[in-house]
Structure 1
Amino acid sequence: MVALKRKQENGFSNGHSNGNGKAVNGDSKRAKKVVSASSSFILHSYSKLPDINSIPKTKTTPLDIFVWGTGSMCELGLGPDAKTKEVKRPRLNPYLTKEALGGASIVDFAVGGMHTLLLDSDNRLWSWGTNDSGVLGRDTSKVAEKLKNADDDSSDDEDGDLNEAESTPGLVENLPKTDNKIVQLAATDNLSAVLYDNGDVYAWGCFRCNEGLLGFLKDEIKLQSTPLKIDQLKNITQLAGGKDHLLALDIKGIVYAWGNGQQFQLGRRIMERHRYRSLEPQQFGLYNIKYIATGDFHCFAIDNEGKVYAWGLNQFGQCAFTDSEGNLEDGSLITKPTIIESLSNKKIVSIEAGEHHTLALTESGDVYAWGRYDMKEVGIAKEDLPESTFKDAHGNARSIPVPTKLHFGKKSSTEVECKAIGCGSHHSFAVTKDGFIYAWGFGDTYAPGLGPLEEDVEKPTRIVNTATKYYDIQLIGAGGQFSVAGGSKIEDEDAAEDRIDKYEEIDG
Structure 2
Amino acid sequence: MLNAGSNWFMRVTRRAKNLHLDSKTSIPLKPELKTLPIFQYPISRQNDRRVYVWGLAEHGALGEPRALKKNRISYLSKPKRLSFAEQHRVTDIACGYGFTAYAVHSSNKNIVYGSGINTDSQLGYNLDEKFLNMIFIPKPITLPLQNASTKIIGLAAGRAHLLILTTEGLFTLGNNAYGQCGRPIILNENYEKSTAVHHIPDIKGNKIVAVTAGQDHSVLLTETGGVYTFGWGADGQTGLAHYQNEHRPSLVKGDLAGQRIVKVACAADCVLALSDKGKVYGWGNSEYSQLPIREDNYQVNIATELYTQELGYITDIAAGGCFCMVLNNDGNVFVWGYGILGLGPQVQKVLKPTMIPPTLFGNNVYNRNVKITNIYCGINQLAALTNTGDLYMWGCNRFGSLGLGHVKDQFFPLKVAVGAQVRKVACGVDHTVTLCKPFI
- TM-score, normalised to structure 2's length? 0.77
Is the alpha carbon distance of 1:142 and 1:306 closer, same or farther for their aligned partners in structure 2, counting shifts above 3 Å? closer
Is the alpha carbon distance of 1:280 and 1:81 closer, same or farther for their aligned partners in structure 2, counting shifts above 3 Å? same
- C-alpha contact (below 8 Å) 2:165/2:211 kept by paired residues: yes
The one of 335, 338, 363 aligned to 1:369: 335
- 1:250 CA displacement: 1.3
The one of 291, 294, 304 aligned to 1:319: 291
CA–CA separation in structure 2 for the residues paired with 1:307 and 1:214:
27
Map of 1:297 onto structure 2: 269
- 1:65 CA displacement: 0.6
* SS at 2:400 equivalent: coil
CA–CA separation in structure 2 for the residues paired with 1:129 and 1:140:
16
Percent identity over paired residues:
21
CA–CA separation in structure 2 for the residues paired with 1:279 and 1:270:
14
Map of 2:34 onto structure 1: none
Tell me which amino acid in the other structure corresponds to 1:299. Answer: V
The one of 136, 141, 151 aligned to 1:167: 136
Is the alpha carbon distance of 1:340 and 1:216 closer, same or farther for their aligned partners in structure 2, counting shifts above 3 Å? closer
The one of 105, 129, 140 aligned to 1:121: 105
Is the alpha carbon distance of 1:215 and 1:176 closer, same or farther for their aligned partners in structure 2, counting shifts above 3 Å? closer
The one of 347, 350, 357 aligned to 1:400: 350
- 1:450 CA displacement: 0.8
Tell me which amino acid in the other structure corresponds to 2:414. Answer: T
The one of 54, 63, 84 aligned to 1:68: 54
Verify: 1:258 aligned to 2:258, yes or no. Answer: no
Verify: 1:202 aligned to 2:155, yes or no. Answer: no
Map of 2:200 onto structure 1: 230
Verify: 1:217 aligned to 2:180, yes or no. Answer: no
Verify: 1:110 aligned to 2:59, yes or no. Answer: no
- C-alpha contact (below 8 Å) 1:307/1:344 kept by paired residues: no
Tell me which amino acid in the other structure corresponds to 2:197. Answer: P
CA–CA separation in structure 1 for the residues paired with 2:348 and 2:344:
13
Map of 2:424 onto structure 1: 475
Tell me which amino acid in the other structure corresponds to 1:403. Answer: P
CA–CA separation in structure 2 for the residues paired with 1:361 and 1:114:
28
- TM-score, normalised to structure 1's length? 0.68
- 1:363 CA displacement: 3.2
Verify: 1:284 aligned to 2:237, yes or no. Answer: no
Map of 1:440 onto structure 2: 394
CA–CA separation in structure 2 for the residues paired with 1:219 and 1:111:
24
- 1:190 CA displacement: 1.1
CA–CA separation in structure 1 for the residues paired with 2:238 and 2:416:
36
Tell me which amino acid in the other structure corresponds to 1:172. Answer: I
- C-alpha contact (below 8 Å) 2:55/2:430 kept by paired residues: yes
Map of 1:340 onto structure 2: 306
Is the alpha carbon distance of 1:482 and 1:192 closer, same or farther for their aligned partners in structure 2, counting shifts above 3 Å? same
- 1:126 CA displacement: 1.1
Map of 2:122 onto structure 1: 135
* SS at 1:62 equivalent: coil
Q: 5+ unaligned residues in a row in structure 2: which ranges?
A: 1-45
Is the alpha carbon distance of 1:229 and 1:144 closer, same or farther for their aligned partners in structure 2, counting shifts above 3 Å? closer
Q: 5+ unaligned residues in a row in structure 1: which ranges?
A: 1-59, 146-162, 325-330, 384-396, 492-508
- C-alpha contact (below 8 Å) 1:131/1:166 kept by paired residues: yes
* SS at 2:308 equivalent: helix
What do residues 458-485 of structure 1 show as CA deviations (whole Å, max 9, x unaligned)? 1101123xxx24x111111110001011
- 1:69 CA displacement: 0.7
- 1:117 CA displacement: 1.2
- 1:419 CA displacement: 2.3
Is the alpha carbon distance of 1:240 and 1:343 closer, same or farther for their aligned partners in structure 2, counting shifts above 3 Å? farther
- 1:299 CA displacement: 0.8
Is the alpha carbon distance of 1:142 and 1:434 closer, same or farther for their aligned partners in structure 2, counting shifts above 3 Å? closer
- C-alpha contact (below 8 Å) 1:77/1:167 kept by paired residues: yes
CA–CA separation in structure 2 for the residues paired with 1:305 and 1:81:
45
Tell me which amino acid in the other structure corresponds to 2:113. Answer: W
CA–CA separation in structure 2 for the residues paired with 1:238 and 1:61:
21
Tell me which amino acid in the other structure corresponds to 2:400. Answer: Y
Tell me which amino acid in the other structure corresponds to 1:315. Answer: E
What do residues 409-460 of structure 1 show as CA deviations (whole Å, max 9, x unaligned)? 468855541222221210111111111111111123211111223x421110
Map of 1:55 onto structure 2: none
Is the alpha carbon distance of 1:340 and 1:171 closer, same or farther for their aligned partners in structure 2, counting shifts above 3 Å? same
* SS at 1:176 equivalent: coil
Q: CA RMSD in A?
A: 2.7
Is the alpha carbon distance of 1:109 and 1:142 closer, same or farther for their aligned partners in structure 2, counting shifts above 3 Å? closer
- C-alpha contact (below 8 Å) 2:272/2:318 kept by paired residues: no
CA–CA separation in structure 2 for the residues paired with 1:422 and 1:107:
18
Tell me which amino acid in the other structure corresponds to 1:458. Answer: F
- 1:225 CA displacement: 3.6
Map of 1:308 onto structure 2: 280
- The structure whose Rg is larger is 2
CA–CA separation in structure 2 for the residues paired with 1:382 and 1:62:
39
- 1:316 CA displacement: 1.1
CA–CA separation in structure 1 for the residues paired with 2:294 and 2:414:
29
Map of 1:96 onto structure 2: 85
- C-alpha contact (below 8 Å) 1:232/1:280 kept by paired residues: no
- 1:85 CA displacement: 2.4
- C-alpha contact (below 8 Å) 2:76/2:399 kept by paired residues: no
**Equivalent residue pairs, number:** 374
- Higher relative contact order structure (alpha carbons within 8 Å, sequence separation ≥ 6): 1
The one of 247, 250, 256 aligned to 2:219: 247
CA–CA separation in structure 2 for the residues paired with 1:488 and 1:125:
20
CA–CA separation in structure 1 for the residues paired with 2:100 and 2:352:
32
Map of 1:504 onto structure 2: none
